[in-house]
Chains A and B, each alone.
Chain A
């Protein structure tokens, strides 16, 4: 084997890309890793300009500019280019005046995975930063919102005391303003669950009591829509759940059922706890309009079929369900729609 042949074998055997270039930047050496990564065969590229192969895509202009610096002066610093297959290559250049016509060696490594990981890390950082910003803003908004709501409650009670039993327009205005502010507060709560999910705090919880609290929470909405929400009798059920979150999920199911029932002047929504064998189901049934189609993405955040809906209610129900290792399902039987929050039994059994 000649020394030149030995050198070629060594160059081909390296795990880095090596191009030998002349003064004009034309390729004289193109090793096997170059072939593998770019998809070009050596015969295709010998004599071609290095820039023609590697100054492509959205980085072309920058590569040309850096190349000129590297080629005209003493090369310094890395240069990143793309290749035909879309891989990213980081190049280093070394001057070489001992084997003409080659005067410059370009040595490259594949940094595609590293760049992608970096891009993902930056995206994640941006999402976290945005989440922190939104979370901070949401918390800060609760302070003035709280003050305003308390003042409206005081105004409402004072007006009701001063002028009992009559339709007072000022009182109506106060009640409407308070109702709107409560909507803002609820929206902030929902939004916060998405931008800053908290770890579950599992505790043995009486689900019947939890459901009663959710029904109580939905009572202003039910009264406004003239709908009766009833809890069907049954045995008590104890489960290891994050009570606060599950209550919020049940509240959203009831609120949705009230909205659906109100659209067709139905007056009842039923809530029941059912034993599902390896889990517990909390069912909310209404005889309202039902879903327009079974294909619509009702559990996707910000998707809503209701005018003025935020599209967060069912997404939250699903988030709570999956966080507990459960799921949420729905079915339409004749004129009844049943949404079921299924929770696995973990550390607790129905009594």
Chain B
């Protein structure tokens, strides 16, 4: 899975990038939203994993921005708060501290994508 990881928290970003790479994913990790956006436009990743601290209030704005340039990627928001309101928007919210198994589960292709 091609992943763009955007997190201003160095401890979170570096460790998570390494752990995901060890699982066989392609990961571009950036600290800032603008760099992440440029990387996303270049790479057209399958998944964006963004810390809630960078992705505006809910990550939706970032997804909309990315969607103008390439196929809509799956958006996973890492948040210290429960954000039930995001469920309907398609943004997946993974609570901190992150359970890696849960994160991996959210990165699996959806059933229709598997069929395609």
Contacts and interface: CB of A to CB of B under 8 A. Distances in A.
Interface of A: 139-140, 142-151, 153-154, 157, 181-182, 185, 198, 201
Interface stretch (B15-23, B31-39, B63-71): B15-23
Contact of B80 (A139, A157, A201): A139
Interface stretch (B41-49, B94-102, B106-114): B94-102
B15 A157 contact: no
Interface of B: 9-12, 14-16, 18-19, 22, 53, 78, 80-82, 84, 95-98, 100
A147 B81 contact: no
Contacts of B11: 144, 147-148, 150-151
A146 B96 contact: yes
A178 B102 CA distance: 18
A144 B97 CA distance: 9
B57 to A, nearest CB: 14
A132 B19 CA distance: 34
Contacts of B12: 143, 146-147, 150
What are the 3 closest A-B residue pairs judged by CB atoms, nearest first? A147-B11, A150-B15, A142-B80
Contacts of B96: 142-143, 145-146
Nearest to B10: A147
A67 to B, nearest CB: 54
Nearest to B81: A139
A153 B9 contact: no
A146 B81 contact: no
A142 B81 CA distance: 9
A146 B82 contact: no
A147 B97 CA distance: 8
B19 A153 contact: yes
Nearest to A145: B97
A142 B97 contact: yes
A147 B82 contact: no
A201 B97 contact: no
Contact of B19 (A139, A150, A198): A150
A294 B31 CA distance: 55
A149 B82 contact: no
A147 B9 contact: yes
19 contacts: A142-B95, A142-B96, A143-B12, A143-B53, A143-B96, A144-B11, A146-B12, A146-B80, A147-B9, A147-B11, A147-B12, A148-B11, A149-B97, A153-B100, A154-B18, A157-B19, A157-B22, A182-B97, A201-B84
B4 to A, nearest CB: 17
B2 to A, nearest CB: 20
Given A151-B14, A182-B97, 5 more contacts: A142-B96, A143-B12, A143-B96, A144-B9, A150-B11
A192 to B, nearest CB: 9
Contacts of A201: 84
Contacts of A145: 96-97
A148 B96 CA distance: 11
A308 to B, nearest CB: 21
A289 B12 CA distance: 42
